[in-house]
Chain A
Amino acid sequence: MAHAVEPEYTTTGLSHRKMLMWVFLGSDCLFFGALIATYMVYRGQSLVGPYPIDIISVPVTTISTFVLLMSSFAMVQALAATNADNKRGIVGWLLATAFLGAIFIGFQVFEFNSFKNEGLTLGGNLFGASFFTLTGFHGAHVTLGIIWLLAMAIMAAKGRVGPKTALDVELLGLYWHFVDIVWIVIFTLLYLIGGFDAGPLVPPGG
């Protein structure tokens, strides 16, 4: 990796790549912020069911939330193994993170499928539209992260990841943890708080 061998000269004395990652994460906050705000605006405005209380299962999603939190722990272990130059540890923890992320996606596929069977669709009502858009984009972020993790694990297995390229793993970790904190917010607002919403909060027609 050429960038790790050549010294990096920057005006701030900080890595440009890390700076870029933080700028991206800051802007991604706006992306999810807009989708979450849209969900909150349309909360309780659906005129027809199914409503959240009809379909959302908080216990099931609490388990998948656990899984995602655990994957964040595996991710920090992967970075620690990278700094310690423990090749087996790097590959193992990266695969563990990807595996836990895949379980989370499995839960989401199961959830989306059962919601669809119960009549919730992207075009059926405001709840379906705002729910699937928000959680779908989050799921897409997780999926991208899994691909990145697997690619990194393959590189690590080939011996190309170590203390000199620890920044590569750190950036991956930042992205992964970000996806985790977005889920923390979604889980609280859509499931813990909004998961028990019934019909329209405001009677339609004015």
Chain B
Amino acid sequence: MAHETQQDIHHPSTKQYVLIAIILFAITIVEFLLIWDRVGIQDDLGSAKIPLLVGLSVVKFYIVIMFYMHLRFDDKIFTRIFIAGLALAFLVGVALLGLFTGLNGDQRSYALDRAIPYVEHAETEKAEETTTPAAGGTTETAAPGPITLTISAVGDSLAFDTSDITASPGDEVTITFINPSTANTHNIVIVEDGTKDAVATDGTVAGQDNNWVKPGDSRVIANSVLIGPGDSGEVTFTAPASGTYQFVCTFPGHNFTMFGDFVVN
């Protein structure tokens, strides 16, 4: 193979390879020093930090492909093939970033505003919903004198229509939760005051199968199952001792805007 013998003449020597390795190490050390807070350089860099780090990694990238991968000494067509792939990958990245940052950084609301409900999907969810509450035993709430409250989500927004609900200690409270949304699934969880975000975080880890609530969470007083778009459900519990509690939707992300106070007095 003719091209191989040709390459042998041009291949860098061991000395040069060692030099390249040292340069690569040196750049990595510089990069590390730039961002290590104990060195303190990064405070002086300000907005120059990211371009500098990107620039340094481009230099490393270039050195490796040109010398270690011999592109500099090899036929130009290999460089062209590789650069074509690299350029396309770069463009894919730019296009994706442009697309997503163009949505004002809030992809969820953007998608929500434009979501078209998928009817069949909603129907299957409905079927699932009707079976779960029955198993949860919420049908036995016909006892005399319970307090019945109704709460609704506000359209497709991540909010409840009520900011506070009240009950007396020991009341048997039944909350009917209506979800008029065309796209969002919600739940309603009654929690100790100030714990809504922590409960939601643990609920996210617990997963959808646990209705986004950690099983056995001591901060949770009561919770509903997941209630799909256009659906409604009930949760019944005995009102705890006097004090302020919170109600929240623990569907991941909803807890920041979808909550209210539950006051027992």
Residues in chain A within 8 A of chain B (CB atoms): 7-8, 12-15, 18-19, 22-23, 25-30, 32-34, 36-38, 40-41, 45, 47-49, 58-59, 62, 65-66, 69-70, 72-73, 75-77, 80, 83, 119, 121, 123-125, 166-167, 170, 173-174, 177-178, 180-181, 184-185, 187-188, 192-193, 195-196, 201-206
Contacts and interface: CB of A to CB of B under 8 A. Distances in A.
A202 B105 contact: yes
Given A187-B57, A192-B31, 15 more contacts: A15-B1, A23-B85, A26-B84, A29-B86, A30-B92, A33-B86, A33-B92, A34-B89, A41-B100, A48-B253, A62-B32, A73-B17, A119-B205, A184-B57, A206-B109
A65 B64 CA distance: 14
A122 B243 CA distance: 39
B61 A181 contact: yes
Given A14-B77, A38-B96, A62-B28, A30 B69 contact: no
A204 B257 CA distance: 8
Contacts of A38: 96
A24 to B, nearest CB: 9
Contact of B93 (A33, A80, A121, A123): A33
Nearest to A25: B82
B17 A80 contact: yes
B151 interface: no
B109 A205 contact: yes
Given A29-B85, A41-B100, A47-B253, A167 B204 contact: no
Contacts of B14: 77, 80
11 contacts: A14-B3, A15-B3, A19-B78, A22-B81, A26-B82, A40-B97, A73-B17, A80-B17, A184-B57, A204-B108, A204-B257
Q: Most B CB atoms within 10 A — which of A33, A121, A177?
A: A33
Interface of B: 1-4, 8, 11, 14, 17-18, 20-21, 24-25, 28, 31-32, 34-36, 49-50, 53-54, 56-57, 60-61, 64-65, 68-70, 75, 77-78, 81-82, 84-86, 88-90, 92-93, 96-97, 100, 105-109, 158, 200-201, 204-205, 207, 252-253, 256-257
B64 A37 contact: no
Contacts of B34: 192
**A-B interface, 3 closest residue pairs, ranked by CB to CB distance from nearest:** A26-B85, A33-B89, A37-B93
B70 to A, nearest CB: 8
Contacts of A8: 1
A188 B54 contact: yes
Contacts of B61: 181, 184-185
B31 A201 contact: no
Contact of B158 (A23, A177, A205): A205
Contact of B64 (A14, A72, A206): A72
Given A14-B77, A204-B108, A205-B256, A29 B207 contact: no
Given A13-B2, A47-B252, A181 B64 contact: yes
A73 B18 CA distance: 8
A73 B93 contact: no
Contacts of A41: 96-97, 100
A59 B243 CA distance: 48
Contacts of B31: 188, 192
Contact of B106 (A69, A125, A173, A206): A206
